[in-house]
Amino acid sequence: MNFYPIVKRALFELEPERAHHLVMSGLALASRTVTLPRLLGLLAPASDPRLAVDAFGLRFPNPLGLAAGLDKNGVAFPALAAMGFGAVELGSVTALPQPGNPRPRLFRLIEDEALINRMGFNNAGATAIAERLAALRRGASGAVLGVNVGKSRAASIDGAADDYRAGLTAVWNVADYLVVNVSSPNTPGLRTLQRTEPLVELLRVVNDLRGSLGHKPVLVKLAPDLDGAELADLVDAAGGAGATGLVATNTTLARDGLTSAHRSEEGGLSGKPLAGRAMRVLEQIKGRTALPVVAVGGIWSSQDAIARLEAGADLLQLYTAFIYRGPEVVREILTGISAELDRRGLNSVTDLRQPR
């Protein structure tokens, strides 16, 4: 039985960030035990070996991951992993601890099945989070762990490379893969790093760290608001400078077709309205590069997930659908993909990809 609609009604009576903290506190408590993650595992769908994906040197038990943004401080990896996600991406974390932007900074657009946030990378800092993850990982298994790293607000754009170096160094050894976030709209100036020269400089830092700390897959997360030429330049630059893959996409500044009262709030929009824009970016990227792509943005159902996989996505992520639909969305999407493999007589989720 799916109890989340009852829980959701209670949570949606609360201010969004208060509800978020309440949920994360519960998941953090569960993650510090052995028994509670096992109970949460009852929500997960049955394992299907056909859903396993090999990407950038890692084996994912299934293609569906939780996007960065929910667990910013790395407090709930065991509990989230137990729900059936193939990967859990934590953060964004920054080299320096920071409170983020002033409240209110998180808004539900219920009529549009969307969120707007301008959180501003609020987190405890990469060093503290790395120490926490080192302990929590001992009690978790199954899902791949990603850590998303952003720029500290106190760091200048000119000093961004050194700031990313510090943040990446702190979490390097506790993550299975890392993501360089240069596309959040909520840190002033951050998206200027989505230009060829600054991005190449950041990836030089990544390559230096690979030489000193050991190889690690490092992906670049891109915005959905780039025009075609900008996107092409960045994809080429990322591939040429050593990025292992791309995450497409972050939240959008666009407000097309929204009806909710909060539609004019500043910040990044996520959820259903982002789906078309995120799909177009995915198709443009896959038409230009062989780099693995994690597709995120507006994935709400198994049909959405299958469409992204057909368009060439190697892996998937969701966040806003988890807020609106709860853990049941993981089961629905994964069982839906398995059913589609049955219907087509396919042996692997990667066989859904349409030839180009």
Mean pLDDT by 10 residues, the chain (356 residues): 91 98 97 90 93 98 98 97 97 98 98 98 98 84 93 97 98 98 96 96 98 98 97 98 98 98 98 98 97 98 98 98 97 98 98 85
Considering the candidates 92, 152, 183, 184, report the single residue annotated as catalytic: 184
Please give the pLDDT value at position 49.
98
Please give the pLDDT value at position 259.
98
- Decide: helix, strand or coil at residue 20: helix
CATH of the domain at 130: 3.20.20.70
Please give the pLDDT value at position 354.
82
β-pair type (64-66, 87-93): parallel
Please give the pLDDT value at position 305.
98
Residue 333: name the closest of 77, 82, 85, 55 by CA. 85
Domain span holding position 109: 4-352
Please give the pLDDT value at position 216.
98
Structure-block tokens of residue 27: 């998941």
CA separation for the pair 215, 269 (Å, rounded): 34
pTM greater than 0.85: yes
* Those residues with Cβ within 8 angstroms of residue 118's Cβ, 6 or more apart along the chain or in another chain: 101, 105, 106, 185, 186, 265, 266, 267, 268
Contact assessment for residue 231 and residue 248, using Cβ atoms and an 8 Å cutoff: no
What's the structural domain count of the chain?
1
Please give the pLDDT value at position 165.
98
CA separation for the pair 309, 294 (Å, rounded): 10
* Those residues with Cβ within 8 angstroms of residue 157's Cβ, 6 or more apart along the chain or in another chain: 189, 192, 193, 198
- Decide: helix, strand or coil at residue 211: helix
In the residue annotation, 184 being an active-site residue is answered as yes
